[in-house]
Structure 1
Amino acid sequence: MKLTSDTIRAEYDWVHERGPTVVPIVNTVRADLGDAFETTVDPIDVGQYHDAVDAVFSDGDRAVNVAALVGLLRDLDVPGDYPGFVVDELLARELAAMIAGEQPLRLLAEATFHYADVYIHGDPDDPAGLDDLDAALAAGVQTRLPGWDWQAGDSPFGVDP
């Protein structure tokens, strides 16, 4: 894999165009987690997804790493899938975290990836990493975007020096 500005732009375009596939996953995950935590979580739309993707790829240092993980997952395949199960989960979990941002969002995105991954099953002809890629995009974006009550205000644990 060779990463250039053109490669990163191509991966950005691919991720951006994936909105109609990823947004319903985000909204399913948000609704289910909202039910589990007895709260309402705002759904997102494709415009918000595009804004999140734009923000991630506008940070060049983050963009090069996100593009690499997206490219790897799009092409990753292992006959029988199980032997490759660990590597696609590892790459996808890191992608979700990278999209989400810094701690504590990184950790939340990693956990959410495993939850989202339960919903996604690719077609038999798809590379093994593609369903994990969609789950990672959904987990990272859903974590990055507001909509959770706990994100609506300042943390009560901050110290005013």
Structure 2
Amino acid sequence: MELTPDRIAAEYEWVHTRASTVVPIINETRNRLGVLFETEVDGVSEAAYKNEVETVFADGEVAVNVAGYVGLLRELDVEDDYPGFIVDEMLGRELAATIAGGQPLALLAQATFHFADIHTHGEDGEKAGVDDLDAALAAGFQTRLPGWNWREAESPFSVS
């Protein structure tokens, strides 16, 4: 794989136009997690997702890494799928973390990736990595987007 500015722009376009697939996964994941954690979590609109994609790809150092993970997962296919289970999980987890940003959000996105991934299934004929890609995009972007009450309030651990 060669990552050039043109390739980064192409992967940006792919991620940007994937909103109609990724946003429902984000919202389903947030709903499921909200039930488990007994909290209300705001949904995400396609416009909010697209704006955040623009923010992520505006940082060239992040964009090249996100584009690399996206490109690898879009092309990843393993005969009978299961033998490739580890590689698509690793790439998906790292993509989610990269999108989310630094700690602690990166770790939260990785955990959320696994949660989203068990509920995300590709379509017949799709390459094995695409459903992991969708779950990773959902996990990474849902982590960095607002809507969680605990993220909206000021931390009690801040020192002035």
CA RMSD of aligned residues (A): 0.6
Counterparts of 2:43 and 2:124 in 1: how far apart (Å)? 30
Q: Deviations over 1:67-89 (max 9, x none)?
A: 00000000000001111100000
User: Residue in 2 aligned with 1:64?
Assistant: 64
Give 1:124 shift.
Answer: 2.8
1:45 aligns with 45
Query: What is the match of residue 84 of structure 1?
Result: 84
The corresponding residue for 1:134 is 134
| Equivalent position SS for 1:52 | helix
What is the distance in 2 between the residues matched to 1:42 and 1:102?
Answer: 22
Q: State the number of aligned residues.
A: 160
Asked if residue 119 in structure 1 is aligned to residue 119 in structure 2, the reply is yes
- The normalised TM-score by structure 1 is 0.98
Distance 1:134 1:146 in 2: 19
Q: Distance in 1 between matches of 2:38 and 2:123?
A: 33
- Residues 73-120 of structure 1 show CA distances to partners (whole Å, capped at 9, x for unaligned) of 000000011111000000000000101111111011000000100111
- Taking every aligned residue pair, what percent have the same amino acid on both sides? 62
Q: Which amino acid aligns with 1:137?
A: L
Q: Which residue identity is paired with 2:10?
A: A
Q: What is residue 143 of structure 2 aligned with on the other side?
A: 143
Structure 1 runs (4+) greater than 4 angstroms displaced: none
Query: Partner of 1:103: helix, strand, or coil?
Result: coil
Cα distance in 1, alignment partners of residues 64 and 41 from structure 2: 31
For residues 47 and 37 of structure 1, the distance between their equivalents in structure 2, rounded to whole angstroms, comes to 26
Residue aligned with 1:3, SS: coil
Alignment of 1:15-34 (within 5 A): 15-34=15-34
TM-score scaled to structure 2, two decimals? 0.98
Name the CA distance, whole Å, in 1 between partners of 2:132 and 2:22. Answer: 11
Partner Cα separation in structure 2 for residue 119 and residue 65 of structure 1:
25
How far 1:158 sits from its partner (Å)? 1.4
